[in-house]
A and B are shown apart, each in its own frame.
Chain A
Amino acid sequence: MRYNYIKILSTQVWKDTFQNRSTIYLVAMMFGLLLFGIVSGVKSYLFQQETVKHYAHEVRERWENSPDKHPHRMAHYGYVAFRNKYPLSFFDFGMESFTGNAIFLEAHKQNTTNFSEASLSSSLLRFGEISVAMVLQLLLPLLLFFWGFGLVATGRENGTLKILLVQGVSWSEIIVGKAFGLFKLAILILAPTLLISLGILLFLDFETSKIDVFIRFLLIGLAYSIYFWIVSLIAVLVSATSTHPKTALTTLIGAWLIFTLVLPKMALVLGQYLYPAPTKIAFDMAIEAEILKQGDSHNPDDPHYKALKDSVLMAYKVDSVQKLPFNYGGFVMKEGERLSAETYDRHQADLMKIYEKQQNVVRYFGLFNPYLALKNISMALAGTDFATYSDFQHQAEKFRYALAQKMNELQIKFISNNVKNSADKNAILSNKYWKELPDFQYQFIGLLAVLVQEYTSIIALLLGILVISIFIKKYAHTFKVI
C-alpha cells in the first residue's frame, strides 16, 4: 500500500464531496445539531448539578439540625440520596433519562430510586434525544453512507475505475484511499465537536477525579474515530461490490436501518425472552416471605429472637434483658437490620445478574454491530451506563445500612434498658451525635472498572476493523472492474 496514492485518492473524495452544493448545507446542519446537543447537554448537566447540590445540602442541614431524640427515630427520619451526573454526561445522555434520581434511605426498608426523567415525560421522549453522541452515532454514519455510496460504483459506471486500475493503483489502495477520504470528512465534523467539548470540560466545575475525566474523554474520541473508520470502510466496500450506485445506496441505507433500529430492538426482544426479569410485586413478595420468617426485630419478645436472647443472657450471666449492660432493643434491631439487609442484598444481586445477562445479549449483538458496540462504550465512558447507575444504587444502600446500624449502635451504647419507649426522657440522645454520620457522597466508578465492564464491546469494535482489513486484503483484488 502506497501512502502517496492513498493521499491523492482521499483528497479527491474530499474535493468531489465539496463540489456538491448540498454538502455545505448538510455539514452546517450537522454542526447545528451537534451544537444543539452540546448546549442542551451542558444545560441539563448544570441544572441537575445545581439541583442536587442544593437539595443534598438541604438534606444534610435538616439531618444535622434535627433536635435531640431517640436514635431509632432518626433512623426512620432517614436521608435522601440524589444522583449526580458525571461531567461527560453532557456528551452522551446514555440511559440517564430512564434512571431514577432520588432515593429515600431509612431503617428496615429499601426504597426504589424515583423520579426518572422518563416518569416525568410524555412519550415524546421515546423517540430519542438529541445529544452529541446521538448525532455522531446515528446521523453522521448516515451522512457518510450518503457521501460514500458512489465512491467506487460511480467510477465503475463511467469507466474511471478501469483507468485507475490500469494506471497501477491496486484495489486495496482504492478502497483504503477512498475510505480515508470519507474518514477525513467524518473527522471534519468530529474534531471541532471534540474541541468544543474539551473547552467546556475545562470550564466545568466538578469534584470527581479530573485525570479520569480527561482520559475517558480521550478514549471517547478514540472510540468514535475507530467507529467512523469502520463506517467509512463499510461504505466504500459496499460501493465497490455493488453494480450500480443506486444499489449501493439502497444497501447502505438498509444496513443503517438494520444496525441502528432493528437489531438493537431485536436484542431486547431476545434478552427479555431468554432472561425474564421479575416484576416488582414478585420481587417484593419473595423478600417479604423470607423476612417474615426472620421475625419482628421491633418486638423484643418475638419468638424468633428468643434464642438470641437466651444466648445473650447466658453470656452476660443475667436473668433479664433489663440487667444487661447495653440496650437490648437496639441490639435486636441491629441483628434484624443485618438479616433483612442480607436478604435484600441477595435478591437485589440476583436481579442485577438478570439485568447483566440482558445487557450481555446487547453486548453480544455488538459483536456484529459496531453501532451497538460504540453505544455501549460511549455510555460507559460518559458515566451514563447501567454499571454507573447500579453502582449508585449500591452505594446508596450501603449508606442506608450504615445509617441504620449507626443509630442502632447509639441506642445500644447510650439508651438504658429501663426506658418505656422512644418518647421517654431517658431515651433522648443529644443531637451532637447526628453529625457523626458522614454525608452521602457518591463516588463514580474508576476507569479500570469501566473498561473491564465493557470489554466485549471494546473487543467488538477492534474486531470489526480486523475483520474488514482481512476481508480487503483477501478479496479486494477479486472485485469486478466493470
Chain B
Amino acid sequence: MTRLLLLNFIRSKGVLWGLGLLFFTGLLGINTGKQFLNKYQENVTQTAYNQQESIKRNVKYHPKEIGLLLYYVKFGLVNEMPNLAALSIGQRDVNPSVQNVTIRFLEEQKYNTDLLNPLYSLLGNLDFSFVLIYFFPLIIIAFCYSLLSEEREGGTWSLVLSQSANPKKLLRIKILIRFSSILLVLLLLFLVAKFYLNIAFDVPFLAFMVVSILYLIFWFSLGWFVISFQQSSSQNAIVLLLAWVILTVISPAISTAFVNAKLPVSETFQTVLDSRDGYHKKWDLPKEVTVQKFFKHYPQFAKFKMPEGDFNWLWYYAMQQMGDDEASNASKQLQLKLRQRENLSSTLSMIFPSIHTALTMNDLAKTGLGNQLSFGEQLVKFHEQKRLYFYPKIFSEAPVLKENWNIFPLEYYQEKKAVNWLKLLLPLVILSSLCGFWGEIRLKRL
C-alpha cells in the first residue's frame, strides 16, 4: 500500500512543482549567503591590509610624538562570523562585523555603523532561514490540507473504510510520505550548503539542522491537528493559511511592538551628550582637575608627572578618558536595556515556533543581537587593553621609531557560547507533540 500511496503522491499535480520551488528558492537563499560571506571576507581582508598601511603611513608622518601618532592610529577588531551565518544572516547586515578604533574615547566610536541602503534592509535578505521559515510551511500546508478531505470529497474514503481495518494508518503513511519528501529537499539543501559554503560540521551546524527539522515537524503536526477536525478541504486550507499568517507575519510584528513598548531605549542620546561633554568640557577646566580624576581611575599611572606648558599628552588622554568615564552610567544602562530586549524577545519566542526558529538560528550562526552585544563588550576590553599598553608609552614620551609597529595586526573575536539544547528543543517539541497528540485523539473517532 505504501508503494501505491507514494506513487499516487508523486504523480499528483503540483507535487514536483512544490518541491522544486522549495529547492530552487533554497538554492537562491544559499547563494545570497555566499555573497554575504564573500563581502564579509573581502571587508576583513581590506581592513587588515588597510590597518598595516595606515600604521606605516602614520608612523612616517608623525615620527616624533607618540601621543600625536596614537591620535590617528586605528586598531581593528573583527567579530568573527562562522560560515554558518550565510544560512541565517540575521542582524549581521545591519551591525558592523569589523570595528576600527583609536585609543581616544570609545563612546564616540563604538556605535558607528556601516554604510547601508535602508530600503534594502527593510526588504530583507532572501537567505536560507527566510526560505525555511516562510516557504517550507506553505508547501507543507499545500501538501496536507486535503490529506483526508480529498478522499472524502473524491468519494474514495468510504472505499478505504470498507477495505481497511485501520484507516488511520493510511493517513499516517500519507503524511509520512509528504514529510519524507520535504525532509529530503531540506537535507539536500543542507548538503549543498555544507560544501558550497564550506560550513564546518560542528555542534552549531548540527543544532541548526535539528532546529530546522523540528520546525518542519511542527508544521506537519499542526497540519495533522487541523486535519483531525475533518472539515472540508477549503476550510482546512483557510485555517492553515491563517495560522501561517499569524505565525510568520502577525505574531512577530506584535512581539516587536511589545518589546519596544515594554523596553523603550531612550539612553542612546544621553550617552552621546554625556561622552561629548565628558571630554570636550575638560578643555575649559584646569588641567590638574582632570589629571587627578584620571589618576584616580588608573592609580598605576600616578607616578607620571604632568609636563609643563599649555599642552601635553597626559592631559589630553586624561580628557579623552573622561569621555568614556562620564558616559559610563548611561552606557551601562543602554547595554543593560539591550540585553533585556534580547532576553525578552527570546522568552516571547518560546510560544511562537517561527520566531523561536529564527532567533535560535541567528544565535547559532552568531548573527543575533546577543552576539552583537558580546562583541560590544569585547570591543571595550580590546580598547582598554590598547589604552593600557600605550598610556605609559605616551606619558613617558617613548620614541616612535623605537617601537615595533608590526605587532598590531587585525584582531579577531570569536563568541564562545555553548548550545543550549533544552531551550532549543523544548518549545518546538512541546508544541509539536501537543498538536500531534491532540490530533491523534480527535482522529480516534474516525
Contact between chains at A123 and B50 (CB < 8 Å): no
Please report the C-alpha to C-alpha distance between residue A341 and residue B148 in the assembled complex, in whole angstroms. Answer: 70
B259 within 8 A of A: yes
Contact between chains at B50 and A102 (CB < 8 Å): no
Contact between chains at A264 and B123 (CB < 8 Å): yes
B42 to A, closest residue via Cβ: A279
Given the complex, which residues of B lie within 8 Å of A265, measured CB to CB? 123-126, 130
A452 within 8 A of B: no
Closest beta carbon of chain A to B31's beta carbon, Å: 8
Contact between chains at A281 and B256 (CB < 8 Å): no
Contact between chains at B369 and A114 (CB < 8 Å): no
Given the complex, which residues of B lie within 8 Å of A246, measured CB to CB? 233-234
Question: B219-227, B246-254, B295-303: which lies at the A interface?
Answer: B246-254
Please report the C-alpha to C-alpha distance between residue A249 and residue B237 in the assembled complex, in whole angstroms. Answer: 10
Residue among A33, A47, A119, A262 with the most chain B CB within 10 A? A119
Contact between chains at B32 and A269 (CB < 8 Å): yes
Residue among A113, A115, A123, A277 with the most chain B CB within 10 A? A123
B108 within 8 A of A: yes
Known contacts A36-B254, A69-B283, A104-B276, A282 near B46 by CB under 8 Å: yes
Given the complex, which residues of A lie within 8 Å of B249, measured CB to CB? 127-128, 138-139
Contact between chains at B257 and A40 (CB < 8 Å): yes
B329 within 8 A of A: no
Given the complex, which residues of B lie within 8 Å of A438, measured CB to CB? none
Contact between chains at A115 and B268 (CB < 8 Å): yes
Of residues 112 through 151 on chain B, the ones whose CB sits less than 8 Å from some CB of chain A are 112-126, 130, 134, 138, 142
B83 within 8 A of A: no
Contact of B276 among A78, A420, A421 (CB under 8 A): A78
Contact between chains at A116 and B368 (CB < 8 Å): no
Please report the C-alpha to C-alpha distance between residue A140 and residue B150 in the assembled complex, in whole angstroms. Answer: 29
Given the complex, which residues of A lie within 8 Å of B345, measured CB to CB? 122, 124
Of residues 34 through 56 on chain B, the ones whose CB sits less than 8 Å from some CB of chain A are 35, 39, 42-43, 46-47, 50
Given the complex, which residues of A lie within 8 Å of B126, measured CB to CB? 262, 265-266, 268-269
Please report the C-alpha to C-alpha distance between residue A81 and residue B192 in the assembled complex, in whole angstroms. Answer: 48
A43 within 8 A of B: yes
Known contacts A128-B249, A139-B245, A423-B310, A120 near B265 by CB under 8 Å: yes
Contact of A272 among B35, B94, B108 (CB under 8 A): B35
Closest beta carbon of chain A to B368's beta carbon, Å: 5
Contact between chains at A129 and B256 (CB < 8 Å): yes
Contact between chains at B95 and A119 (CB < 8 Å): yes
Please report the C-alpha to C-alpha distance between residue A425 and residue B333 in the assembled complex, in whole angstroms. Answer: 40
Known contacts A40-B261, A67-B284, A115-B268, A124 near B108 by CB under 8 Å: no
Contact of A55 among B100, B142, B238, B269 (CB under 8 A): B269
Contact of A73 among B116, B253, B283 (CB under 8 A): B283
Given the complex, which residues of A lie within 8 Å of B276, measured CB to CB? 77-78, 80, 104
Contact of B268 among A120, A139, A280 (CB under 8 A): A120
A322 within 8 A of B: no
Question: A157-165, A313-321, A354-362: which lies at the B interface?
Answer: A354-362
Q: Mark B250-293, 1 if CB is under 8 A from A, else 0.
A: 10111111011100111011101100110010011000000000
Please report the C-alpha to C-alpha distance between residue A269 and residue B118 in the assembled complex, in whole angstroms. Answer: 14
Contact between chains at B123 and A100 (CB < 8 Å): no
Given the complex, which residues of B lie within 8 Å of A58, measured CB to CB? 273
Q: Mark B379-401, 1 if CB is under 8 A from A, else 0.
A: 00000000000000000000000
Contact between chains at B252 and A100 (CB < 8 Å): no
Please report the C-alpha to C-alpha distance between residue A386 and residue B270 in the assembled complex, in whole angstroms. Answer: 26
Please report the C-alpha to C-alpha distance between residue A420 and residue B309 in the assembled complex, in whole angstroms. Answer: 11
Contact between chains at B359 and A124 (CB < 8 Å): yes
Please report the C-alpha to C-alpha distance between residue A111 and residue B108 in the assembled complex, in whole angstroms. Answer: 10
Contact between chains at A122 and B47 (CB < 8 Å): no
A174 within 8 A of B: no
B91 within 8 A of A: yes
Of residues 181 through 214 on chain A, the ones whose CB sits less than 8 Å from some CB of chain B are none
Contact between chains at B253 and A127 (CB < 8 Å): yes
B284 to A, closest residue via Cβ: A67
Known contacts A114-B113, A351-B115, A423-B311, A102 near B268 by CB under 8 Å: yes
Contact between chains at A101 and B233 (CB < 8 Å): no
Q: Mark B75-95, 1 if CB is under 8 A from A, else 0.
A: 000000000000000110011
Residue among A67, A120, A146, A362 with the most chain B CB within 10 A? A120
Please report the C-alpha to C-alpha distance between residue A386 and residue B119 in the assembled complex, in whole angstroms. Answer: 7
Please report the C-alpha to C-alpha distance between residue A147 and residue B266 in the assembled complex, in whole angstroms. Answer: 44
Contact of A121 among B108, B367, B369 (CB under 8 A): B369
A391 within 8 A of B: no
A463 within 8 A of B: no
Contact between chains at A281 and B50 (CB < 8 Å): yes
Given the complex, which residues of B lie within 8 Å of A59, measured CB to CB? 273
A142 within 8 A of B: yes
Closest 3 A/B residue pairs (Cβ): A127-B252, A265-B126, A122-B345
Other CB < 8 Å A-B pairs besides A44-B260, A421-B311, 6 of them?
A73-B283, A122-B346, A122-B359, A127-B358, A264-B123, A268-B125
